[in-house]
Amino acid sequence: MHNDTTPAPAPRGGVQVDAITKRYGRTLALDNVSLSIPPNQLFALLGPNGAGKTTLLHILCTILQPDSGTATLAGFDVVRQPVRARRNLGVVFQEPSLDDRLTVAENLDFHGLVYQVPRKERRQAIVDMLELVELTQWRDHLVRALSSGMKRRLEIARALLHSPKIIFLDEPTVGLDAQSRERIWTYLDNLRRQRDLTIVVTTHYIEEVENCDSVCIIDHGKILTQGTPEALKAEHGQEVIRVIARSDEIAADITAQYPQAKKGQRDTIVIPVSDAGFSDRFMAQFGNKVRQIAFDRPTLEDVFLSLTGRDLRDKAADDRERTYAAGKRGGEGRR
């Protein structure tokens, strides 16, 4: 049993992870992981299946304990002060966790009771949260009447009801349509501006994290890189020029001038950009000798694939996923 009576440090809104290691038998899920997330950041954690993302989140959520290392949320140690850490944390898990036998408001009210939010504050928070996620008119409807996107918005509202300093979202937009995904990211951006909130998100939609303050890529239990999207693209990506010459002779001249060029699909020549003035020099020399030219700048997906590889890493469902699926099948059979 943990002693949670340690004197409280000055609360901070960030996340600090120092040399966290976690094993499952012979499998090393996290290998000496360290990272720092300043307050009021939108932080993305990216990684393929089995990279260690979920294990790290579960440790930060106080669901798991690390084998070694330390982690703090808003200044509170997740092992020695789990209760205080949880009070500063809101979580939206990937699998739905709402009670669909209760109304929208009842789900929020129950969450407030669990976190000991005083009744008057709880009532006002429910009003505020429903307005924030545009579900006020659905207040008294059973959750089972909501669409998938509306349920996800309700889960975000619930995670924020007790005014945490940090919120974790595990694949918050998976399975949602494009409009719902865009709406959820708009909510999150507005929340961060209004509430001085630190947001940590995992997602498979890499294009969604282009506007994050910082992106961390993890694989095989190790942090591969971390930085702003632009910094990662500059460090790990490669800008190229794709051209189609007007004749075979001009194509030969281009490849002779630029030995680093490669043959692309059809008649395309792909030339890596070596410096800031490269494009201007190429256009001055060959601009009127090519039929087509395109400038391809690196994306976060390019960075991700260059660091983690292109192989698919399917995995069997874990115990939690199998239990959830069995419950869903049982519920369907009872209808």
User: Which of 54-63, 188-197, 201-210 ranks highest by mean pLDDT?
Assistant: 54-63
Q: How does pLDDT run across 162-185, given as a tens digit for each residue?
A: 999 999 998 888 878 888 888 888
Would you say 231 and 217 are in contact if contact means Cβ atoms under 8 Å apart? no
Q: Which residue has the higher pLDDT, 285 or 195?
A: 285
Average pLDDT for 28-56 = 92
Positive or negative, the CA dihedral 234, 235, 236, 238 is positive
Amino acid 299: pLDDT: 86
Q: Which residue has the higher pLDDT, 139 or 299?
A: 139
Amino acid 330: pLDDT: 52
Give a three-class secondary structure readout of 208-232.
Answer: HHCCCCEEEEEECCEEEEEECHHHH
Classify the phi-psi angles of 32: left when phi > 0, otherwise alpha if psi is within -120 to 50, otherwise beta: left
- In order of their start, the domains of the chain are 15-232 (3.40.50.300), 238-297 (3.30.70)
Average pLDDT for 234-240 = 85
Look up residue 9 and give its DSSP letter.
P
Q: Which residue has the higher pLDDT, 332 or 59?
A: 59
Judged on CB neighbours under 10 Å (0-12, 13-18, 19+), 238 is middle
| Calpha distance 123→226 (Å, rounded) | 40
- Helix axis angle for 178-195 and 148-160, nearest 10°, is 10
- CA dihedral (296, 299, 303, 309) in degrees, to 10, reads -80
- This prediction has a pTM of 0.77
Amino acid 11: pLDDT: 43
Average pLDDT for 310-319 = 51
Record the tokens describing residue 11, joined without a space.
């609360």
| Calpha distance 35→233 (Å, rounded) | 20
The answer on pLDDT for 319 being more than 60 is no
Question: Which residues on adjacent β-strands are paired with residue 223?
Answer: 218
Q: How does pLDDT run across 101-112, given as a tens digit for each residue?
A: 999 999 999 999
Q: Which helix (H) or strand (E) element contains residue 22? A: strand 15-24
